[in-house]
Amino acid sequence: MSRIFPALSLCSLLYLLPATLHAQNIQRFDQHYEGVLGTTLDLTFYGPDPNAMEQAADAAVAEIARMDAIFSNYRDDSEVARLNRERSLSNASPEMLDILELCARWERVTQQRFSCKLWRINQIWNEAEKTQILPDRAALLTLASATASVEPTFDRSKRSITLPDPVELDLSGIATGYIIDHVLALTRQNLRGATAIKLDIGGDAIYWGHPPLSEGWRVAVANPMSTSDSDILTTLTLDGLAVTESGHANRFRSIGGQNYSHIFVPATGWPVENGIGVATIAPSGVSTEAAAKAMTQQSLSAAITWINAQPELDGLGMDTFGNKATSNQWKAYVAETLPDEASSVLSLNYTLPSFQAQGSYSRPYVAIWITDQKQNLRKNLLLLGDEQRWARENSRWWRQVGRVYPKIDGLARPTRAPGEYRLAWDGRDDAGALLPAGNYTLHIEAARQNGGHDYQSLPFTLGVAKTVELPGKGEIGKLVMDVK
C-alpha cells in the first residue's frame, strides 16, 4: 500500500442512459483518479440523483485518504508506522483493531500462508534490491520463524495494541480489500437510491447490484501469469462480489539478473518460487485478497482443494506450464471463455514511455484496433481508459470504433508496473468469427491529460508472415508487430 494522492488527477463523466431508463431517472456516473494508494481508483454508480452521486464519490475519496493515514507503511505519520516504531498504542483506531482481528483470522484460515507481520522482511528485500546482494537465507529463516511464533496483542475496550519483537506490521496484503469493503458500505449508505456500484482500486474491485439491462457486472479476468494486456482468460458476471488477482509476472524485485516475486512465504521470509497465478471471488475484498495471497504459494491442485473447502470463496489458478484449474462453483459466474494467446495470428509489443512532467503525471489513455481495407472496424484489441470519457482526446478511435465498442464493466488483473507490454490477436472479429485472409491495418492511438496525442498505423496481410518495427513517436513508444 503506497502513499495516497501524491499527484492526483481526476476525470469524471455523467452518462444519460437509453430513453426507457432515463424515463425511470436512472443515470450512470463515472469518476477516475490517478495516484490513489499508489495506483488508480475507478468509481461507477447507477442512480437517479447526479448531485448525490458526485457527493458520494467525493466522500469515498476522502474516506480512502483517511484510511491510508491509518494503514500505509509508506507514510511516517501513519498509525501503523507509529505502532511499528513505538511498539504499542493506547489510542488505536477502530479500523486498526478491526484489521488486526482480520489478520489473525486469515493467518489461521490459511495455515500461516498469509501474514500481516512481514514488514521487517519486506524492508530487508528492499535493501537487497538496492545493493544487489541477496539476503542471507538462514538469517531470514530465523527471523521468519521468530515472527511467526508470536502475535500482536490488543484490547478493544482499552483501544490498546502491543507488538512483540520482532514483529513489524505490513497490512498491504489485506488493507486494500478492507478499504474496498468499507467504502462500498459507506457509498451504499450515501446513495440510498443507487441500483449498482463499482469500486475498483488498481484491479482489486467489488461490484454491487445490477447495471441497467443486465444480469450483473461484466468483468474480464486477465491471465495472472502473463504480462499481456489482451491475454484475457474469461469474463464473469458478478453481483455483490469482490474480485482479486495475484501473480508473480508483473511485480518483482530484480537482484543479480534474477527476478524474485513480491509475495513472501511467511514461514521462510523468502519470495515464492515457481508460484501459481490466481483470481479469487467472494462477497468481501478482504476474503479475496487474503485467499489470493495464500493460493499463490501452493501447487495448483493444493490451492484448488483449499479454496473448495472455504465457504463463499471461489477461484481460478494457473501454473507456470499454463495448466488451469477452477473451484467447484467458478463456472456459475462465467459469462464467456475467450481464446488464449497460444492461438494468436498476430502479436504486438508496445511501449508507453515515461515523461518528466511538471505537477501530476497521468498515464495515457490507449486504444488499439484493427480495420479492413474499407476502414471498417473488425476488432478492438485494447482500450485503457473509459471510451466516452476520453473520446475528445482520442478522436480518431472514437470516430471509427468508440460508438460500437462492446461493453465490459471491469478488468481483474494483477497490479503491474509501467513500461513494455504485449498483446495478441487470434484472428477473430468482435463477434468471434474468423476473418478471411487479406489486407488489414492495426491502429494505435494514445492521448494523455496535459500531455500529447499521437497515432500510428501498421498495415499487414492476414496469412502472410511479416515483422514490422516502428520507432517511438511521442506518447507511443517503440512498436514491434509480428504476423504469423
Find the mean pLDDT for residues 340-345. 62
pLDDT digits 0-9 by tens, 76-128: 999 999 999 999 999 999 999 999 999 999 999 999 999 999 999 999 999 99
Taking the C-alpha atoms of residue 471 and residue 484, their distance in angstroms, rounded to an integer, is 21
| Amino acid, res. 49 | D
Average pLDDT over every residue of 34-62: 91
| % of the chain surpassing 90 pLDDT | 55
Residue 71 has pLDDT above 90, yes or no: yes
CB atoms within 10 A of CB 2: 16
Lowest mean pLDDT among 211-225, 262-276, 346-360: 346-360
Helix 285-295 and helix 94-109, axial crossing angle in degrees, nearest 10: 40
Q: Is the pTM of this model over 0.75?
A: no
- Give yes or no for a cis peptide into 166 (omega within 30° of 0): yes
Q: Report whether pLDDT(369) > 80.
A: yes
User: What does the pLDDT look like over 3-29, one tens digit per residue?
Assistant: 333 334 344 444 444 434 444 688 999
For residue 110, the model assigns a pLDDT of 96
Task: Tell me which DSSP letter residue 271 carries.
Answer: B
* pLDDT tens-digit readout, 127-181: 999 999 999 999 999 999 999 999 999 999 999 999 999 999 999 989 999 999 9
Q: What is the pLDDT of residue 19?
A: 39
Q: What is the mean pLDDT of residues 386-410?
A: 53
| The predicted structure's pLDDT at residue 157 | 93
d(CA 72, CA 49): 34
pLDDT for residue 227: 64
Tell me phi and psi for residue 252, to 5 degrees.
-160, 165
Q: Is the dihedral of CA 277, 281, 282, 288 positive or negative?
A: positive
Cell of 250: 508483473
Highest mean pLDDT, choosing among 86-95, 225-234, 321-330, 357-366: 86-95
